[in-house]
Amino acid sequence: MRYRLLGLDLDGTLLQPDHSVAAEEREAIAAAQAAGCIVVPCTGRAWHESAGPLRHVAGLDLGVFVTGCLVQRLTDGGVVHQKALTPRLAGELIEHLRDLPEAVLAFQVRHAVGHDFLVTGDGELTANTAWWFDHTASRLRHLRHPGAADLGECVRVGVVSTRGRLRERLAGLAEAFGDRITAHSFPGVEREGESDPVEILEVFPAGVSKWTGIRMIADAHGIDDAEIAFVGDQINDLPALRAAGLSVAMGNAVPAAVAAADRQTARHTEHGVAEAIHRMLAGAW
C-alpha cells in the first residue's frame, strides 16, 4: 500500500446511521494496518463522543477531534496536541451569538476543566442538543455570563439551530471577526424521526482544520502529504480532501466534497470506506 497514513471522517463516512462501525469497515482497517498504514479517525466530534463508536476498531492510537483542535489518544483521551481560543476571543464570540434563541455551547477540554460544554448565552438547549448530550454522556456547566476565568481550555464555540438562521450568522461572524477565526456550518446528527433539519454552527481558532491535526501526526512519523489518504463527506473535510495525496469522497458526500476529491467511493451505508481501502490495497488508487 502506497499510503502510510489514512484519515477517516466518522459521521457519514466510517459510521453507519446507528453510529456503529460495520464489520466490513473494521476488517478493511485491519488489512490497511497490516500493510503498515496508520489509520487515524478525524472528526468534528469530541473524544468522549467518539470513543463509544470506535471501541470495537482495533489498532487505533491517535485521533483528530473537534475538527483538528485536539489530537488525543483513543485509549484514555489524553491530549497530545491542542489549539484553543483565547478566553477573550471566546467571550467575544459568545456575546456575538448571545441573542439567539438557542443556547451558545462553548466546548472545553474535560481533562482540564472537568466538563465538556459550557452552556451559555440567553437561549435554551434545543431538544436535539439535550438528546445528544444525554446520548454521549456529556458533562455540562451552565453559566449565562461567563468571565475570562471561566473560558480557559475553550477550543470551540457553537450553536445548534435551524439552517436558515445559522447561515445568516455565519456571514455575520466572518464580517465581525475576519481572519481571527475559522467558522462553518453543516447538518447535525439528527434523532430518529426528527422533523426539523438540524444545523450546527462552529467557530474555531484561525487556521484549524482536520488537516492540521493530520499533519501533526504525520510530521511525528516523517510522512509526506503524498503518502496520506483521506476519506470524507462534509464541509469540514474540505481542507483534508484538498491537501491529501489521495482524497476520496463518499457516495453520500456534499457536492463541494465531491468536487475537492480525487476519487469517489460508495455511500457509507454501502461500505464505501471498505471499498476505498481495498482499492488502495490493490494499488488501483
DSSP letter at 100? S
Cell numbers describing residue 139: 458533562
Question: Cα(96)–Cα(22) distance, rounded to whole angstroms?
Answer: 41
Give kind and range of the element (H or E) at residue 224: none
Assigned C-alpha cell, 89: 476571543
Local structure of residue 57 (DSSP, 8 states):
-
- 221/205 Cα distance (integer angstroms): 25
- CATH number for the region 5-82+208-282 comes to 3.40.50.1000
Report the C-alpha gap between 210 and 218 in whole angstroms.
12
**Would you state the pLDDT for residue 162?**
72
CA distance 34 to 185: 37
Q: Could you report the average pLDDT of every consecutive run of 10 residues in the chain (285 residues)? A: 97 95 98 98 97 96 98 96 98 97 96 96 93 95 97 97 80 95 84 71 97 98 98 97 98 97 98 98 97
pLDDT of 45: 96
pLDDT at 186: 84
H-helix or E-strand spanning residue 83:
none
Contacts of 235 (CB under 8 A, 6+ apart): 184, 185, 186, 254, 256, 257
pLDDT of residue 187: 79
DSSP, residue by residue, 106-174: EEE-HHHHS-SEEEESSSB--HHHHHHHHHTT--EEE-SS--GGG-TTEEEEEEEE-HHHHHHHHHHHH
The domain locations on the chain are: 5-82+208-282, 87-205
Looking at residue 280, its pLDDT comes to 98
CATH fold group of domain 87-205: 3.30.1240
What's the confidence (pLDDT) of residue 193? 62
